Structure 1
């Protein structure tokens, strides 16, 4: 059974982790004192002296790994999350290590060696765990180490769950069948059959041949949920609930505890967290100041060319809808001839639009016209990264035509965004753009922002759809 395999794997993981720590520790000692990379002290403790403290370090680190849930099943857990847990555990371990040396009054112990150990251990641990992960995935893909699951209820959620399991054989899930009351026995979906009614669960559970039960009831059958959960809990089989609300709430919701009452939030917006918002704002201010300094020569040259080649103001400002549906004026270098406001609002710029000036074509194509928006970033109207803002008349139009369009206003609009680096700029699909904007809003991290900024240099500046 999979439970026995998991216990064996966990024990093996502990042994491997201990071996990795010892290897990293010895490697750190050699790098510090024998490699010639670092300047040697006139004296240093021998390897034998350093090895003595491993008696404390190894158990301490293994306990930290357990606390950071590194010995739980991770069939579908991402590599990045596991790597982050490794970094966290090692960071706390190093701090505890230094504190221990201080309490033991060990001033001769090299702090550089501790830092090298931290780097070496994190790198080696991540590498080894990824090798193990790939080996396990290959085993599962070939039909070994499978986890046997029974679905309770035939619904859209059941079909979507089956779709994902069939598409990812490396997860190692085998669906034994479905128990359902709303379709006849023998009904089949992608090779998975309805093998009985939900009450047959009382017969199947005592056989103890299942590793998991997934409750996939349709919305109309939720009155059975309490009874089914009660039966599953009595058997001790691990049970999970897959809600059938994907077409109603097509987002990534999250739950919170309200004095014992679980509350489901329809959408997870990481930037609603004050610390996340503050971190992003600090990056925005720093990035905007640096960009203004770096691009100031380019902006000065463009400003002079606009001034000498076309009468009118240098900066064009246009009303856009931003954070929390508040209007603001977005700045651009003027790339068109001066026109009446009523004509300017008529719609999108088209190919070979006669209103665009010669210099305007160039700065629109290379996105140089967007550089004054760095001022918007400093003012707090915009962010370096986020969904691109639209004009009020288009917001009113898309609000009615595109589901969830207004969700983009839960964060500050950006100079560049996930949609833009994926090709959704200018005259492209609005629905595709919104899908990418929603992904960004619900999956925001500082790392994702840095990734988008990096990709902007290679994909975002030259806009083939800019006219």
Structure 2
């Protein structure tokens, strides 16, 4: 069985490299999809020929498909990367954000007892329970647009420090090449077809569980905003730095209520959370976040 997987994987790699050299298509990424499909088909045909006339199940068919997909991911990862680092801010922008925090005379509240234990427990369970979805999501993203499966947003965390917020890629590759950093919206034309569904059900945020385990995020806290956006907001609303006195979170009051909102309203709701912060509140907000996602009841603005 391992031989079928490896044969399909290597076949994809060989075919894709061959096509990239010989076919001058305007969108070379198509070669990866065609290579994976051709490899899966070829390996399956070979298995059919080997087992024709036998009264037994043909083994390895699913492994041939998986191997072809993995081969495609290996090929695109070597050429483009597995993780897209989306519009990283310049060192100057990072320094400006840190400077705002350094001179803001901020008070950092103590984290509630057992909050970190709750984060680690829920993030670990979440990763275990959702792992099958990761495979399906990765395949959906890759087959729609072969390229990076993950994306990192350069966002502001505790103390104004920029960190890499891990997500599934829900937009076209290098979507901000022409526009520069632009805030996403619910019906963003840059979304992949599968990306619209990922964002609707917040499945693109599943990799943020890794951020929770590494300690750069919490399960509940102010939603992290991109560094370039924060630098702009701080110039008009210096008090925004107060939302970074606690770790950013996957769920928060602001996220539950609306899809988008002005910076001053977001700050008000985030400060409300910080003032009332507790493990019990975290559990209630997580429950509300799940219900809101299932019902789709969030307002756009």
Aligned to 1:389: 224
- Larger strand percent: 1
Where 1:332 maps in the other structure, the secondary structure is strand
CA–CA distance in structure 1, aligned partners of residues 252 and 245 of structure 2? 14
Instruction: Judge conservation of contact 2:106–2:242 (CA < 8 Å) in 1.
Output: no
Where 2:167 maps in the other structure, the secondary structure is strand
Which is bigger in relative contact order (C-alpha 8 A, separation at least 6)? 2
Aligned to 1:284: 119
- Residues 2-17 of structure 1: pairs in structure 2 closer than 5 A: none
Aligned to 1:142: none
Instruction: Judge conservation of contact 2:258–2:298 (CA < 8 Å) in 1.
Output: no
- The gaps in structure 1 that reach 5 residues or longer are 1-265
Offset at residue 298 of structure 1 (A) = 1.8
Aligned to 1:433: 266
Where 1:335 maps in the other structure, the secondary structure is coil
Aligned to 1:447: 280
Where 1:272 maps in the other structure, the secondary structure is coil
Aligned to 1:323: 158
Deviations 1:179-238 (A, max 9, x none): xxxxxxxxxxxxxxxxxxxxxxxxxxxxxxxxxxxxxxxxxxxxxxxxxxxxxxxxxxxx
With structure 2 as the length reference, what TM-score do the two structures score? 0.60
CA–CA distance in structure 2, aligned partners of residues 268 and 391 of structure 1? 22
Cα 1:464–1:279 shift into 2, 3 Å: closer
- The gaps in structure 2 that reach 5 residues or longer are 1-104
The counterpart of 1:457, out of the listed 241, 266, 290, is 290
Matched, 1:424 2:258: yes
Deviations 1:367-386 (A, max 9, x none): 11111100010111100000
- Residues 300-449 of structure 1: pairs in structure 2 closer than 5 A: 300-339=135-174, 342-343=177-178, 345-350=180-185, 352-421=187-256, 423-425=257-259, 427-449=260-282
Cα 1:463–1:344 shift into 2, 3 Å: farther
Deviations 1:295-330 (A, max 9, x none): 112222111111111121110112101011111100
Instruction: Judge conservation of contact 2:107–2:245 (CA < 8 Å) in 1.
Output: no
Where 2:114 maps in the other structure, the secondary structure is helix
Cα 1:268–1:349 shift into 2, 3 Å: closer
Instruction: Judge conservation of contact 1:420–1:460 (CA < 8 Å) in 2.
Output: no
Rg larger in structure: 1
